[in-house]
Amino acid sequence: MRMTIGAKDWTWDDQQGLRLYAGAIRALAPHVNVPDQHALYPTMQAFVDAVNAGRGNPAHIERYSRNVIIVGVDQTPLECTSTFARNPGATYAASVQGYVTAPRGSWFHHWVSTQLDQDLRFDYQPGTTYDILLIL
């Protein structure tokens, strides 16, 4: 599935990676019909439904995480983790956010650092064990 993802930094500029936006996650959710890596949710849609049900409720919603392989042109594929969580900053309604942290010293970290604050096109391909995130 093609989506727009932002190259961002967070934790006081200490970490960099990709930020997956709520709209893209909600569009992706019906297509990721596999459990998260900790078997907390049977599907991504079950996670999104839990976030929606918790609207306005301070109850903690566990994260939905998947192993993901980042594929870039002329680069060795890199294993990372994609994590989806309830956006703690969304005060008006329940919202989701996702992120993939780029490991320091990797080609992916260097690539993200050259793309910061840009919205970029990717293809997210769900898999059974690993998802693929292809840089377009």
Pairwise CA distance, residues 136 & 119, whole Å: 12
Spatial CA neighbour of 29 closest among 45, 14, 11: 45
Spatial CA neighbour of 3 closest among 65, 19, 93, 15: 19
Please tell me the total count of domains within the chain: 1
Phi/psi region, residue 103 (left: phi>0; alpha: psi -120 to 50; beta: rest), is: beta
- Helix H or strand E segment including 22: helix 22-28
pTM: 0.87
Which residue reads 């930020």 in tokens? 19
What confidence score (pLDDT) does residue 14 get?
Answer: 82
Phi/psi region, residue 12 (left: phi>0; alpha: psi -120 to 50; beta: rest), is: left
pLDDT block averages, 10 residues each, the chain of length 136: 95 88 94 94 94 66 93 95 83 78 96 96 95 96
What confidence score (pLDDT) does residue 94 get?
Answer: 67
Containing structural domain, residue 35: 2-135
What confidence score (pLDDT) does residue 89 get?
Answer: 65
What confidence score (pLDDT) does residue 132 get?
Answer: 97
